[in-house]
Amino acid sequence: MATHGGIDLGGTKIQTVIVDDDHEVLGSARRPTPTSGGPPDVAREIEAALREAAEQAGVEPASLAGVGVGSPGTIDGGNVTSARNLPDWEGSFPLASTLSDALGTPVRLGNDVQVATDAEFALGAGRPYNSLLGVFWGTGVGGGIVLDGKPWVGRGAAGEIGHIVVELDGARCTCGRRGCMEAYAGRSAMEAEARRQHEEGQKTDLFKLMEKHEKPRLTSGIWARAIERGDELAERLIDEAVDALGIAVASACNVLDPEAVIIGGGLGVRFGDPYAKRIYEAMMPHLFHDDHPPVMRVAELGDLGGALGAALLVA
């Protein structure tokens, strides 16, 4: 039986898995993504994380049938360009050949959100459906598309649901544009807005919780804790995020008409079913064919989804 490697390269962590032909996880490892240095340093850390998973699985990296990588930024063959969440990665870097040379096995790259969607389609919450929209609600909001059983990536840039416009001349997005859904629903946008309102005197426990739990930022867990204790600012910002998500998902479904919408990402998975239900309710008033809505499900593969999807690239 052949073994494959999968790597989920994120802005905060590198997750690796080794799987067999049945997608059983034989080994896994997780390391923080380097926050300084440049692409070669990130590549070295990826290599180390893959070697760690391989050791756990009892296989040599060179004996793997291949390794897939889900990466942010623009994927152009074996190169990754403008991966803005990674250190000093504005230009193009030959990640596939660098890793392939280091590990002694073929390496194939894919878009991080698309491979996570592919994983949910093949192995997770999307299995019963033939077309789906993956909505990954975390630092930003990414989207992946499967149509007629196959990934749809357009000319390489499809699925940017975080930048669907939800408000004319609306809030400034981290991308520089106005009114993008991510400007309301992305965790970084939510943190910036919470900080702004807190500095203006709005009461909130968000930043106390962040310090208490020694987090460098408002993680999904911090948001969840603040909501649990009824923090008003947190509730209001999450309400706005849910509304923006619902509107953008409705717009995307009005275009695509998929069978299912899968809600994943750090916030999506942490908040789970009750919030998927709220996003569904926020979607319905803007869904044109509301007599035949898509099914909405929470992603099932959790933290390993991205790495499992990356492994599918070489399955």
Q: Which residues contact a second copy (rule: CB under 8 A)? A: 131, 143, 145, 147, 152-161, 163-168, 170, 175, 177-180, 243, 247-248, 250-252, 254-259, 285-286, 288-289, 292
CB closer to a second copy out of 171 and 209: 171
Q: Looking at this protein, which amino acid is placed at residue 271?
A: F
CB closer to a second copy out of 119 and 282: 282
- Name which of 98, 9, 115, 16 is nearest 59 in CA terms: 16
CB closer to a second copy out of 222 and 261: 261
Phi/psi for 73 (5° steps) reads: 80, -170
Could you give the CA distance from residue 82 to residue 172 in angstroms, rounded to a whole number?
Answer: 21
CB closer to a second copy out of 170 and 272: 170
CB of 248 to a second copy, least distance (A): 8
CB of 278 to a second copy, least distance (A): 17
Write down the residue that tokens 């390993």 correspond to. 304
CB closer to a second copy out of 124 and 179: 179
CB closer to a second copy out of 46 and 121: 121
CB of 217 to a second copy, least distance (A): 24
According to DSSP, the β-strands at 66-71 and 3-9 are: parallel
CB closer to a second copy out of 2 and 284: 284
- At 133, list the tokens: 């929209």
CB of 180 to a second copy, least distance (A): 8
230: CB partners within 8 A, 6+ apart: none
CB of 127 to a second copy, least distance (A): 18
CB of 220 to a second copy, least distance (A): 24
CB of 294 to a second copy, least distance (A): 8
CB closer to a second copy out of 24 and 76: 76
CB of 184 to a second copy, least distance (A): 9
